[in-house]
Amino acid sequence: MDMDHLAAFAPKLYFDKNEPFYPVRAGVSILREGEQSPSFRRKFDRLAAGIDYVIEFAIYWDYDIQHLYELEHVWVFIDASGAVADAEASFHGKYLKALLPDRSNLAGRTVSLYSQPGKHAFSPLPQLFERLPDVRTATDQGAGMDGLTLPDWYKARDRYDDETNALVRAYQQKYHRFTPSFEFIPYELAEQLLVPWAALYEEIPARIEAELAKIRHDIKEGTLEG
């Protein structure tokens, strides 16, 4: 996998200026017709005419404002000439078109997308987020409400329980709740954050364990009091 080449197609992201979380890694895959995404519930059964392959960017954060563990996706569709033909992005477990009809959010090979404050769903239009009924409450009183969320493939999911969820909830409420500004600032996925998906797959459990250890330490030291 030529990561230097694939990095040129990485999306340019925009985050709320009050956003507490930024990506820590992005797992990259090349998918062709008939192949299943390794990290999202979708299969590319039939690509549109002229599409050669899809670059999947599985973007990982340690936190969503409401839980520990966060993975969102951008798919960039490449045509036979090597140009960007289309793009899609994840939005609360589903996905939507990432290119505007006039393709004005595409500069060369780079798609620009906005990230929902705290929740990180993607949209080519930031105004979409303000149509969501919980866009403000999710980042404030809803902080940490889901505790630790884990995907089906996570091997150690049975090790975590309601106590773990309570710890994550307390930590998020104490340190991370915020009010979105809806003013967005640009962020570029640095090439050093890009790794093959298989490498990120192996790294995620260690990252979760490290965050849980930090949370437990802070609670033991009493830093969550008050």
- The torsion angles phi and psi of 220, rounded to 5 degrees, stand at -60, -40
User: Count of domains in the chain?
Assistant: 1
Task: Flag whether 38 is in a domain.
Answer: yes
Report the chain's mean pLDDT, rounded to a whole number: 95
What per-residue confidence (pLDDT) applies to 153? Answer: 78
Which token pair is 60?
């990982």
pLDDT at 210 over 80: yes
Q: Residue 28: which of 45, 47, 5 has the closest Cα?
A: 5
Assigned domain for 226 exists: no
Q: pLDDT-derived band of residue 27, with 50, 70 and 90 as boundaries? A: very high
Residue 225 lies inside a defined structural domain of this protein: no
What is the reported pLDDT for 20?
Answer: 98
> Of the given ranges (12-16, 27-31, 172-176), which has the lowest mean pLDDT?
172-176
39 located within any domain: yes
How far is residue 152 from each of residues 59, 129, 155, measured CA to CA in Å? 17, 28, 8
Domain enclosing residue 69, as ranges: 3-220
Identify whether the C-beta of residue 200 lies closer than 8 Å to the C-beta of residue 206.
no
pLDDT beyond 80 at 226: no
Question: Which tokens go with 108?
Answer: 């060369």
pLDDT: which is higher, 225 or 2: 2
Residue 94 domain-assigned (yes or no): yes
List the one residue out of 26, 84, 27 whose CA is nearest residue 54: 84
Give the per-residue pLDDT at 223: 62
User: Predicted confidence band at 158 (pLDDT cuts at 50, 70, 90)?
Assistant: confident
- Nearest CA among 60, 57, 81 for reference residue 6: 57
Which helix (H) or strand (E) element contains residue 190?
none
Going by C-alpha positions, the residue among 207, 166, 212, 165 that lies closest to residue 60 is 207
The per-residue pLDDT for 215 is 94
- pTM confidence score: 0.95
How far are the Cα atoms of 19, 67, 102, 147 from residue 64, in angstroms, in the given order? 10, 5, 31, 10
What is the DSSP code string of 99-130?
Answer: S-TT-TTEETTEEEEEE-TTT--EES-GGGGG
